[in-house]
Amino acid sequence: MSAVFIISAPSGSGKSTLVRELLPNDPQLVFSISYTTRAPRGQERPGVSYRYISREEFIARKDRGEFLEWAEVVGNFYGTHESVWIEAREAGKDLLLDIDVQGAQQLKEKIPDAVTIFVLAPSREILEQRLRARSEDSEQVIARRLLAAAEEIRNYHRYDYVVVNDQVTEAVETLRAILRAERVRRQRMEDRIRPILATFGESL
């Protein structure tokens, strides 16, 4: 049974960095590529980080009910297409989503056993430093992101896990530990258990 992992964090906390470290070493995991109306940033490539579309196209897709969840974040639309979850399930893979707090709530209603993880930078000061170090946003956008961060952080209590991203290596290890433990929850083990039980015969 496929698992769904949702990671949320204020922009600049290091979520993309952690996901980038996590994915290549976990072939069971597929990343949900979202649709967005924002412009590509830095090294981002269309179809890898996001699928970049116009506001008109986004609204048309939303109105057709194509998104499992969607939200407006700092003036741009972001959404998860329903096909990502269907395709992950069909391929027997686990799905990893990097979505905001509003989207996480919408998805949790549709997929109640989704595992939710909140990533935090160690402090506001460090978050600000990381946003500046990334040097991809204007001063005005950084100020908006910091305001949005204060609002988003209030929602940490809605999440199953909280990971403080101080050192990348340690935070990635913690994420791996969460995924590993969640994957062996009894409910997700039914398909593995049945053939094992069968080897013990009909009596079990």
Q: Which of 8, 34, 116, 165 binds ligand ADP (CB under 6 A)?
A: 165
Q: In the β-sheet with 34-36, what is the strand arrangement from edge to edge?
A: 50-52, 34-36, 76-81, 67-73
Contacts of 52 (CB under 8 A, 6+ apart): 36, 37, 38, 39, 40, 46
Q: Between residues 107 and 142, which has the closer beta carbon with respect to ligand ADP?
A: 142
Q: Which of 4, 5, 8, 11 binds ligand ADP (CB under 6 A)?
A: 11
**Residue 80 near ligand 5GP by CB under 6 A:** yes
3-state secondary structure of 152: helix
Q: Between residues 3 and 68, which has the closer beta carbon with respect to ligand 5GP?
A: 68
Q: Which of 38, 61, 89, 130 binds ligand ADP (CB under 6 A)?
A: 130
The whole-angstrom separation of Cα 102 and Cα 202 is 48
Instruction: Please report how close the Cβ of residue 126 comes to ligand 5GP at its closest, in angstroms.
Output: 17
Q: Between residues 26 and 82, which has the closer beta carbon with respect to ligand 5GP?
A: 82
Question: Any idea how long the chain is?
Answer: 204
- Applying the rule CB under 6 A, the residues between 19 and 38 that interact with ligand 5GP are 34, 38
Strand partners, 204: none
Instruction: Please report how close the Cβ of residue 169 comes to ligand ADP at its closest, in angstroms.
Output: 9
Residue 103, binding choice from ligand ADP, ligand 5GP, none, Cβ under 5 to 8 Å by partner class: ligand 5GP
Give the max Cα distance, the chain: 68
Residue 188, binding choice from ligand 5GP, ligand ADP, none, Cβ under 5 to 8 Å by partner class: none
Q: Residue 159 corresponds to which tokens in the numbers above?
A: 């999440």
Identify the burial level of 141 via C-beta atoms within 10 angstroms of its C-beta, where 0-12 means exposed, 13-18 middle and 19 or more buried. Answer: middle
Residues that bind ligand 5GP (CB under 6 A): 8, 11, 34, 38, 69-71, 73, 78-80, 98-100, 102-103
